[in-house]
């Protein structure tokens, strides 16, 4: 039962706020019979040949639904609203056909029903709702009190969510836009890069292009800017095979940020899962953003680069019970969201106030329809799912790899063929599920991130965990037919320090976020090389660049799929901010002037060189897990580990503290990509990682491993292009500088002992 104050709030709800103005008469517009399929707004031809738009909205528990059309002519900047009733169809779908509504027309919905938050019912027709199937959105959320379904500033905040606000929200919220789907994708050629050959590059559409001097100013920060030849040239020179775009679904800015004069920059606050974010469009927001996004995809595909989207289906921008009413809450709150035993409250497994209830049919359909749309009509090649464990929760809130969402994706003929990456956790109970997702999923591997960071800062107790991470994390993924590419390896991501900051700061510096430096992770596994923050000390700066080269080299030469972060290859810094989600400014944007610095330009060149090596040599991107067993005939192992003395590591060596590891990859012994498939052959390599501060002597393994070696990369050098040709016999003792990586190519006997170029 509600408490006494709750009873009072319920009793006073009808008179708690100003009544909405009466709707404009329908005028000449009329609603003809429509169809319950497909959902959304679809431009079409009516029964009499008249062009118009079919509208269909699922609102299962509603008592009535009004379609609201908006046109200029309301006086000043206001739009004139026309409200038209839709017909209730079968299974909760409301629909109609409106002649004369053409592409570019703006619209929304008002949904009527009970206001009873104690049972989870939060219908409020005073609030204009964005169509969850809207393919374009015009306008932005300003989040005044009118946008909340409850009286936001009710004096008794503990019951504020139960008091209905009847002020009209239409002037303060964006509208959906009718879009004409007439694109022909026959001229588009998807790269179709196999997983083992993939190198991902996480970037922000706006942040990547805002400061690029080669992109025209009017295109910076936009989809068109990312499609510009200057942006494509950097991506192709670097050699990455796919861009992973931070959220491009239409999103809203949180109220607490707007009050502090900030904005949501990363975009993990979705409100429309079919619409490309209008703020990244150069050509307009009345549907032009859709065509601009498609042209960007075509340009990237033409450059041989796949497009993956970072998608946020786990929660919406409506937040918890004290959040605004923008779309799903006002359509059918009880169906779309997970509610607690007390239906007033939301089950929050995301840390963002609510969790989408993909166990429910309409919610599950919304997500899968959106995914298919982006593949089939927008041309994308895959997805990275933010907090994917939240989508794998069942009706009992448990994370289950046989959940409805995962089962649906696994059998879907469109979705099962694209790249699927899980962030394999959420913040709810039992939410950490790294290694548990089934085929065909890959996962962000935070175990890789932590082990590599700890090794290079000297914090690993022994080498066991590092060995697993470098060789593809078979302890996590070698089951159910999964392969090394199930592991998406990364050292940094958008969330946390940049690579340069990882070696420059030991503490977060998030004061600019306005939260008293309380936000962001405290455990960064970073090392500042002896000085906190930027410094004029040339020795510290050189060491930091070397550490960046070490981390990048380790990442790009590990089994699995490497993910780089835009700007890390050129020393981008956020000045120690490890949670720049609200920094839509120079803090969050890529600084392209860094390439004018020879030191950082050398890092970028090394990165491109390593990507090329990886692409050229199967041993550096093995499609299957290594066995580590001697092969018949040669007696060599496909993977072998060596101590600095040039001997194979014993079990005791794995448990002993050490800062040095030798990794031998035998090209002729690389396991086949598929059972019964053609053997994968190639050259062999020796990788030496030395995290100790002092130089040491390392004995290169002699026959049968190799008679001689040629040096390909040495991270102790600022400029790899000036490295001398270096050739050493097997069994030689070489000097390895402190904190450096050496990559040696095994010289086949047919090449003799002539010195070799260090390039591939």
Residues assigned a catalytic role: 386, 423
Query: What DSSP character marks residue 588?
Result: T
Cα–Cα distances in angstroms (integers) from residue 477 to residues 73, 220, 625, in the given order: 60, 40, 9
Mapped onto helix, strand or coil, the DSSP state of residue 560 is coil
Task: Look at the block and give the residue holding tokens 């090389």.
Answer: 529
CB 308 within 8 A of CB 402: no
Query: Which pair of structure tokens corresponds to residue 24?
Result: 């404009």
Tokens representing 114?
A: 């009970």
Q: Judge whether 669 and 622 are in contact, CB under 8 Å.
A: no
* SS3 assignment, position 337: strand
DSSP character string of 160-187? GGGSB--S--GGGS-EEE--------TT
The answer to whether 317 touches 252, Cβ cutoff 8 Å, is: yes
> What does the H/E/C string look like for 321-344?
CCCCCCCHHHHHHHHHECECCCCC
CA torsion 668-674-676-677 (nearest 10°) is -60
**Dihedral sign, Cα of residue 482, residue 488, residue 491, residue 494:** negative
Helix (H/G/I), strand (E/B), else coil: 312: coil
Q: How far is CA 30 from the centre of its chain?
A: 43
* C-beta separation of 734 from 644 below 8 A: no
Q: Residue 84 — φ and ψ, nearest 5°?
A: -130, 130
Crossing angle of the two packed helices 288-302 and 229-238, in degrees rounded to 10: 40
Cβ proximity of 497 and 548 under 8 Å: no
Paired residues of 733 in beta bridges? 699
What is the largest distance, in Å, between two alpha-carbon atoms of the chain? 92
Name, in order, each residue with C-beta under 8 angstroms of 80's C-beta and a sequence gap of 6 or more.
Answer: 24, 70, 71, 72, 73, 74
Residue appearing with tokens 């590891």 = 661
Residue found under tokens 């095994």: 746
Alpha carbon separation from 369 to 239, 266, 409 (Å, rounded): 33, 24, 11
Give φ, ψ of 612 to 5 degrees: -65, -40
Q: H/E element holding 735? A: strand 733-736
Q: What is the C-alpha R_g of the chain?
A: 28
**686 φ/ψ angles, rounded to the nearest 5 degrees:** -125, 125
Residues 6+ apart with CB under 8 A from 205: 221, 222, 223, 225, 226, 245, 246, 248, 280
């Amino acid at each position: 039962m509600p408490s006494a104050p709750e009873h009072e709030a319920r009793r006073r709800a009808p008179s708690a706020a100003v009544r909405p103005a009466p709707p404009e008469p329908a005028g000449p517009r009329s609603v003809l019979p429509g169809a319950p399929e497909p959902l959304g707004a679809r431009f079409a031809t009516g029964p009499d040949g008249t062009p118009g738009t079919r509208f269909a909205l699922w609102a299962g528990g509603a008592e009535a639904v009004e379609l609201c059309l908006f046109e200029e002519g309301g006086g000043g900047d206001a739009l004139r609203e026309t409200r038209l009733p839709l017909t209730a169809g079968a299974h909760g779908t409301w629909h109609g056909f409106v002649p004369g509504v053409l592409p570019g027309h703006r619209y929304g919905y008002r949904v009527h029903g009970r206001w009873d938050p104690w049972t989870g019912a939060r219908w409020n027709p005073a609030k204009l709702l964005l169509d969850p199937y809207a393919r374009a959105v015009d306008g932005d959320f300003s989040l005044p009190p009118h946008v909340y379904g409850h009286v936001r500033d009710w004096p008794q905040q503990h019951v504020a969510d139960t008091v209905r606000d009847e002020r009209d929200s239409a002037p303060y919220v964006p509208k959906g836009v009718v879009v004409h789907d007439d694109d022909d994708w026959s001229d588009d050629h998807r790269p179709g890069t196999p997983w083992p050959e993939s190198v991902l590059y996480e970037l922000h559409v706006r942040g990547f292009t805002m400061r690029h001097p080669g992109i025209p100013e009017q295109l910076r920060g936009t989809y068109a800017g990312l499609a510009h030849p200057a942006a494509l040239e950097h991506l192709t020179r670097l050699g990455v095979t796919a861009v992973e775009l931070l959220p491009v679904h239409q999103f809203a800015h949180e109220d607490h940020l707007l009050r502090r004069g900030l904005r949501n920059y990363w975009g993990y606050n979705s409100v429309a899962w079919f619409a490309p974010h209008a703020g990244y469009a150069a050509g307009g927001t009345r549907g032009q953003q859709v065509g601009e996004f498609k042209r960007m995809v075509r340009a990237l595909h033409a450059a041989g680069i796949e497009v993956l989207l970072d998608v946020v289906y786990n929660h919406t921008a409506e937040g918890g019970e004290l959040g605004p009413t923008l779309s799903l809450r006002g359509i059918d709150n009880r169906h779309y969201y997970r509610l607690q035993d007390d239906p007033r409250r939301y089950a929050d497994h995301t840390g963002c106030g609510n969790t989408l209830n993909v166990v429910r049919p309409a919610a599950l359909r919304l997500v899968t329809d959106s995914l298919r749309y982006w593949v089939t009509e927008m041309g994308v090649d895959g997805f990275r799912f933010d907090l994917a464990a939240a989508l794998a929760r069942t009706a009992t809130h448990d994370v289950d790899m046989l959940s409805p969402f995962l089962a649906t994706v696994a059998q879907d003929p469109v979705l099962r063929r694209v790249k699927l990456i899980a962030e394999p956790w959420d913040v709810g109970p039992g939410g950490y599920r790294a290694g548990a997702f089934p085929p065909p999923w890959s996962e962000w591997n935070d175990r890789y991130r932590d082990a590599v960071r700890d090794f290079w800062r000297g914090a690993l107790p022994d080498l066991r965990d590092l060995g697993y991470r470098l060789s593809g994390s078979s302890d996590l993924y070698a089951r159910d037919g999964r392969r090394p590419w199930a592991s998406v390896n990364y050292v940094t991501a958008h969330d946390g320090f940049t690579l340069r900051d990882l070696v420059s700061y030991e503490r977060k510096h998030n004061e600019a976020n306005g939260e008293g430096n309380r936000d962001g992770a405290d455990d960064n596994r970073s090392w500042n090389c002896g000085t906190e923050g930027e410094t004029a000390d040339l020795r510290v700066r050189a060491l930091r660049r070397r550490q960046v080269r070490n981390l990048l080299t380790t990442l790009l030469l590990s089994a699995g799929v490497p993910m780089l972060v835009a700007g890390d290859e050129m020393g981008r810094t956020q000045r120690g901010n490890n949670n720049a989600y609200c920094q839509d400014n120079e803090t969050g944007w890529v600084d392209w002037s860094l390439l004018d610095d020879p030191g950082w330009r050398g890092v970028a060149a090394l990165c491109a060189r390593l990507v090329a090596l990886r692409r050229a040599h199967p041993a550096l991107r093995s499609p299957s897990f290594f066995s580590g067993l001697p092969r018949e005939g040669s007696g060599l192992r496909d993977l072998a580990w060596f101590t600095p003395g040039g001997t194979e590591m014993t079990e005791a060596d794995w448990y002993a503290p050490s800062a040095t590891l030798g990794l031998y990859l035998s090209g002729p012994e690389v396991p086949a990509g598929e059972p019964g498939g053609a053997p994968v052959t190639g050259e062999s390599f020796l990788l030496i990682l030395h995290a100790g501060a002092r130089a040491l002597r390392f004995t290169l393994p002699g026959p049968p491993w190799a008679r001689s070696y040629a040096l390909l990369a040495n991270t102790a050098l600022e400029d790899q292009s000036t490295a001398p040709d270096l050739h050493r016999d097997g069994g030689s003792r070489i000097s390895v500088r402190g904190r450096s990586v050496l990559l040696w190519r095994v010289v086949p006997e047919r090449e003799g002992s002539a010195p070799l170029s260090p390039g591939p």
